[in-house]
Structure 1
Amino acid sequence: MDLSEAAARPPPPPPCQFVTDFDSRTQWPRCKDAINNVFNQADCESCWAVSVAGAYTDRYCIQRAKKLLNTSSSDPHFRFSALDILSCTHPLQDGCTTGLGFPYDA
């Protein structure tokens, strides 16, 4: 049994297999309008709702594109709305003043 330092050292990790350059607009060109769209929350302080609606719209488009379905950003039912998310906040948690989607009170 070899107890030398070299034998006790773990083998080096394999080379990195991760892509270092990725652009979702070129990966899914049919969704580039949806992916490239950035909304302004203005003074609403609703970044959490704007972010969720944008990310969900992007993922919805990508799934539709993979199935070769319509990915038209001109379809009003295609985009998910931050306002819809904000309108579902608790009545006392004004959605447009950093309102929370879920109450954190015990």
Structure 2
Amino acid sequence: MRGLLELVRIIVIFAFLGTLLGFIPHGIYSTIGIDTDKYGWLYMLGIFIFVFVLYRNKLQFSGWYKGKGREKLPKGLSKTLIITAIVLLISPPILHFFFS
């Protein structure tokens, strides 16, 4: 039962934080004239990578599941994923500049 509750918690966290954090770049990019329909998937992928790192390193330890497999991501992988998320977040303006 705890595993099912944790799965529902993960879905809610990803949906809530993904939506909430997705409004920020969408608003900024729409304001400066970037086509968010064409490049929106890039920054959303970056946001979901960031939320994944946040969940694995912080949020999983405050949930209902207390079984095996609860460990942080290795520091090198966390840094790589965060850098990838940042690159994905800033790539829509760059791509818009080069391909428009």
Q: TM-score, normalised by structure 2?
A: 0.38
Q: Which has the higher helix share?
A: 2
Higher relative contact order (CA 8 A, sep 6+): 2
